[in-house]
Amino acid sequence: MEKEVILEIKNLCKYFPVNKGLFKKPSLVKAVDNVSFSIKKGETLGLVGESGCGKTTTGRTILKLYEPTSGNIIFKGKDITKKSEKEMVPLRREMQMIFQDPYASLNPR
């Protein structure tokens, strides 16, 4: 029996504008660029990478603490990408990011 997909992320992007100066065109920092994955009921996903690679930004964008630049966030079969801050409040009670201390969880001993 196929397990239900709880969360599906399709081509998620989050870009931040960076102003270079008074007369220069603003540029973009691509913090998250084209991330896709799905999590089925009973599964756990861990994002691992070096500092500054976009792990926290990915999580905050999925929770819509940051507005995605593009892509889709599908939670329990419903696209929540365009939901307002108010509409997200009850959904956030069902979602969370868990930060871990890498020295405790990835101890070489």
The C-alpha angle 6, 12, 15, rounded to 5 degrees, equals: 145
What number of CA atoms fall less than 13 Å from residue 77's CA on the CB side? 3
Residue 53: CB atoms within 10 Å: 13
pLDDT at 15 over 90: yes
The type of residue at 72 is: N
Architecture of domain 5-18+28-40+50-105: 3-Layer(aba) Sandwich (3.40)
| CA-closest candidate to residue 45, choices 66, 59, 57 | 59
Ordered by start, the domain boundaries in the chain are 5-18+28-40+50-105
pLDDT, tens digit, 9 for 90 and up, residues 16-50 = 998 776 777 778 999 999 999 999 999 988 888 88
Mean pLDDT of the chain: 89
